[in-house]
Amino acid sequence: MSIGKYIRALRQENEKTLHQVSIKTDIDSPLLSKIERGERLPTSEQISKLSEFYGVNKPLLESKCIAEKILKNHGASKVTYDAVVMVQEVLHKYSVKETDK
């Protein structure tokens, strides 16, 4: 599920209007609408505000946003897949170092 659809689902589950979310997060209603429709990706600051408002895991929203950026910029292809695997290998080494601490 895209980050926009996920954010819309959170809003609907919480029975909030775009206007209500806008007021509580200080994010413009038309911008929230564009994020939900997948026309814009939220900034890091907006992700923080949305994760706090909905009480959801900020790293999950950040991960969804990064994944969507990769797909929007590079498309779903074998080359993109290979690049993501390369990144995964580097990050795996990083995560192993972090768990050794």
Q: What's the pLDDT tens digit per position in 72-93?
A: 999 999 999 999 999 999 888 7
- Is the pLDDT at 101 greater than 90? The verdict is no
Segment 20-46, tens digit of pLDDT: 999 999 999 999 999 999 999 999 999
Closest CA to 40 of 1, 84, 10, 72: 72
pLDDT at site 92: 85
> Contact 5/13 with Cβ under 8 angstroms?
no
Mean pLDDT of 61-76: 94
Classify 27 as helix, strand or coil.
coil
- Is the pLDDT at 100 greater than 60? The verdict is no
Domains of the chain in start order, with CATH, are 3-74 (1.10.260.40)
What are the C-alpha distances in Å from 18 to residues 12, 23, 26, 48, 72? 10, 9, 11, 17, 25
- Retrieve residue 82's tokens: 């290979």
- Is the pLDDT at 96 greater than 90? The verdict is no
- Is the pLDDT at 99 greater than 60? The verdict is no
Distance CA 83, CA 11 (A): 33
